[in-house]
Amino acid sequence: MKMKTLFKMTICLFLSAGIGLSNSNLSSFYSNFKKNIYSKKQNTIEKIDLDQKRFTRNSKTINNTNYDEHNSKNRYNSKINTSNYSKLSFWQKRLKTEKQFEVYSQMEEKIRKISKKCDSQGNYPIEPIIIDGKISKEEVQDAIQVFLNDHVDVFWIRPEYSSIQTSRYTELNLFSDRSLKIVEYQKKQIEDNVNKILKKIKPEMTEIEKEKTVHDSIIEKCKYNHNKNSKSIDNYSIYGCLVKDTCVCSGFSKAVKLIFNKAGIECEVVSGVAGNDDTRENYCKKNSSNYKISENLSKLNKLENHMWNITKIERKWYHLDVTWDSSNLISKYNFFNVDDKTIKQSHIPNAKIEDGKLIFYQNFLPECYSMENNYYEKFALKTWGSIGYMDEIAQHLYESALSDSSLIHIKVENEDNFDEIKHRLINGLLAEIINTINPGLRNRIKINEVKIGEFAPQSVLNIGFRQ
């Protein structure tokens, strides 16, 4: 419709309602009318980084979306009671404004309302989020990220949103990269695989035994995706971890949270910074006696944004990094229930790398002060390295082999003896022990396939062998 025609129709509406316009007011009315008609800003698409990195701007534009202001004004009020601060999730506590809570609340209501028709780019629009007034890009980005970290079962959202902002309202549009029919089918796939893991959990199990069952099942099932050129959002979601069997850290962490919560264990995802692929492999590889990531935390080229978990076991919180535990199977319990002191030797919680700088968040995580339910504290053979430790290791290795285990852990209680014991085992003592016990095992241990790894922060030696 042309501008003049629209203006004439509007004048007729005013006159029919008994509203008169003098010549002096006519020019002002026409000017304001044009201003209101063209008050919408250019629509932009903002990128959402699913791996905790920066949201980046894309200059691409989209078509206008119709907005019924009369029906939408003041229609949505936040359902989150921010006055009861203690009941907010750790992630919700990072939200700073009521408008951010409004975005979060509307996402809870609308995130599953996927359009049946895709747009020209093959994406399926989600029902729009309408916010009264203006909201900054940073507010929107943080609110969306917080929502996705709380609602780990949402795996279909594309890493971008579009915005339409006027002086009176802001419209946010999220997109699914797949149809509702496919989403429902994939949710069933996820549910089936989650139930397979949950069936391994027995009622009589302790919390740490349940935790170990889920931890081991995910490591056995899923492999880290080292393909940095992959653009699939499944790499960052529970679908990648539980169905495709390959993902990056956020996929591992979100799957852990999902299954732990279903098993009745409190668990949250944590974002921060840790070593990149090279530093992680070096940190976990065997015989890495003189390698400590803590010495390199200031070198940003050795770090990348990372995600892991905190979990509450027997009323105490611990860090758990299944991604790093999956890097090397003989060291797959290095980050199983560690405290703040231990995790900070290789990880930086509540931080991110952005534009080459290390930026810190306000910390809302609970303190992880205990090592009581740490895996090595619970299950490793503990030795002081004094007289007789060789017999202790031989007996432990023998019993493990009889039980069809292929991995043992030795925790040296006296740190001063750690390096000496490690070097003696590497330089012949372990082979001597195996040759001594192997006849009683009918040579079950393949001596040429034995591997030794270490976890220096806890003075732990990991011995893996094949039977």
The predicted structure's pLDDT at residue 206: 96
At residue 96, does pLDDT exceed 70? yes
Length of the chain: 467
Q: Are residues 386 and 344 in the same domain?
A: no
Q: Are residues 147 and 48 in the same domain?
A: yes
At residue 98, does pLDDT exceed 90? yes
Q: What is the mean pLDDT of residues 77-86?
A: 62
- Secondary structure (DSSP) of 250-282: HHHHHHHHHHHHHTT--EEEEEEEEE-HHHHHH
Q: How far apart are CA 83 and CA 80, in angstroms?
A: 9
Percent of the chain scoring above 70 in pLDDT: 76
Q: What is the mean pLDDT of residues 406-414?
A: 93
Q: φ, ψ for residue 47 (rounded to 5)?
A: -85, 135
The predicted structure's pLDDT at residue 466: 79
Higher per-residue confidence, 272 vs 24: 272
Q: How far apart are CA 295 and CA 246, in angstroms?
A: 30
Tokens at 145, concatenated: 């990220």
pLDDT digits (tens, 9 = 90+) for 379-393: 999 998 776 788 999
In contact, 82 and 88? CB cutoff 8 Å? yes
Q: Are residues 6 and 23 in the same domain?
A: yes
The predicted structure's pLDDT at residue 83: 62
At residue 146, does pLDDT exceed 50? yes
Q: How far apart are CA 408 and CA 380, in angstroms?
A: 7
At residue 454, does pLDDT exceed 70? yes
Q: Among residues 353, 374, 395, which one ends one of the domains? A: 374
Q: Are residues 24 and 141 in the same domain?
A: no
- Secondary structure (DSSP) of 47-96: E--TTS----EE----------HHHHTTT----S-TT-GGGS-TTGGG--
At residue 372, does pLDDT exceed 60? yes
Q: Are residues 20 and 74 in the same domain?
A: no
Tokens at 292, concatenated: 């400590």
Q: What is the mean pLDDT of residues 77-102?
A: 82
Q: 10 Å Cβ neighbour count for 209?
A: 12
The predicted structure's pLDDT at residue 349: 92
232-236, 328-332, 452-456, range with greatest mean pLDDT: 232-236
Q: Among residues 176, 209, 230, which one ends one of the domains? A: 176
246: pLDDT confidence band, cut at 50, 70 and 90? very high
At residue 233, does pLDDT exceed 50? yes
The predicted structure's pLDDT at residue 388: 78
Q: How would you classify the pairing of strands 169-176 and 124-125?
A: antiparallel
Weakest-pLDDT range from 16-30, 140-154, 346-360: 16-30
Please tell me the pTM assigned to this model: 0.81
Nearest by Cα to 374 from 314, 424, 463:
314
Q: How far apart are CA 140 and CA 172, in angstroms?
A: 9
pLDDT digits (tens, 9 = 90+) for 322-367: 999 998 888 899 999 999 999 988 898 998 888 888 888 888 899 9
Percent of the chain scoring above 90 in pLDDT: 59
Q: Are residues 196 and 336 in the same domain?
A: yes
Q: How far apart are CA 387 and CA 383, in angstroms?
A: 10
Higher per-residue confidence, 261 vs 293: 261
The predicted structure's pLDDT at residue 45: 62
The predicted structure's pLDDT at residue 53: 40
80: pLDDT confidence band, cut at 50, 70 and 90? low
- Burial string for 116-141 (b: 16+ CB within 10 Å, else e) reads eebeeeebbbbebbbbbeebeeebbb
Nearest by Cα to 321 from 342, 301, 296:
342
85: pLDDT confidence band, cut at 50, 70 and 90? confident
pLDDT digits (tens, 9 = 90+) for 257-289: 999 999 999 999 999 999 765 555 555 543 333
Q: Are residues 294 and 433 in the same domain?
A: no
The predicted structure's pLDDT at residue 449: 86
Helices 23-37 & 3-16 angle (0-180, nearest 10):
120
CATH number of the domain to which 195 belongs = 3.10.620
**Where do the H-state alpha helices sit in 111-168?**
137-150
Q: How far apart are CA 269 and CA 190, in angstroms?
A: 19
Q: Are residues 68 and 14 in the same domain?
A: no
The predicted structure's pLDDT at residue 154: 98
> Which residue segment(s) compose the domain that 296 sits in?
182-374
At residue 313, does pLDDT exceed 90? yes
198: pLDDT confidence band, cut at 50, 70 and 90? very high
Tokens at 195, concatenated: 């139930």
Q: What is the mean pLDDT of residues 176-183?
A: 97
Q: How far apart are CA 289 and CA 12, in angstroms?
A: 85
Higher per-residue confidence, 144 vs 1: 144
Nearest by Cα to 169 from 82, 99, 96, 78:
99
Higher per-residue confidence, 313 vs 77: 313
pLDDT digits (tens, 9 = 90+) for 33-76: 334 433 445 466 666 655 544 333 332 323 333 333 333 333 34
177-191, 278-292, 400-414, range with greatest mean pLDDT: 177-191
Weakest-pLDDT range from 158-162, 236-240, 362-366: 362-366
Q: Are residues 370 and 444 in the same domain?
A: no
Q: How far apart are CA 245 and CA 222, in angstroms?
A: 4
At residue 402, does pLDDT exceed 80? yes
Q: What is the mean pLDDT of residues 150-177?
A: 95
86-100, 246-260, 289-303, range with greatest mean pLDDT: 246-260
Q: Are residues 80 and 205 in the same domain?
A: no
Question: How many distinct structural domains can be found in the chain?
Answer: 4
Q: What is the mean pLDDT of residues 412-439?
A: 91
At residue 77, does pLDDT exceed 60? no
Q: Are residues 305 and 199 in the same domain?
A: yes
Q: What is the sign of the dihedral through the CA atoms of 381, 382, 385 and 387?
A: negative
Q: Among residues 332, 357, 374, which one ends one of the domains? A: 374
Q: Are residues 398 and 460 in the same domain?
A: yes
Q: What is the mean pLDDT of residues 168-191?
A: 97
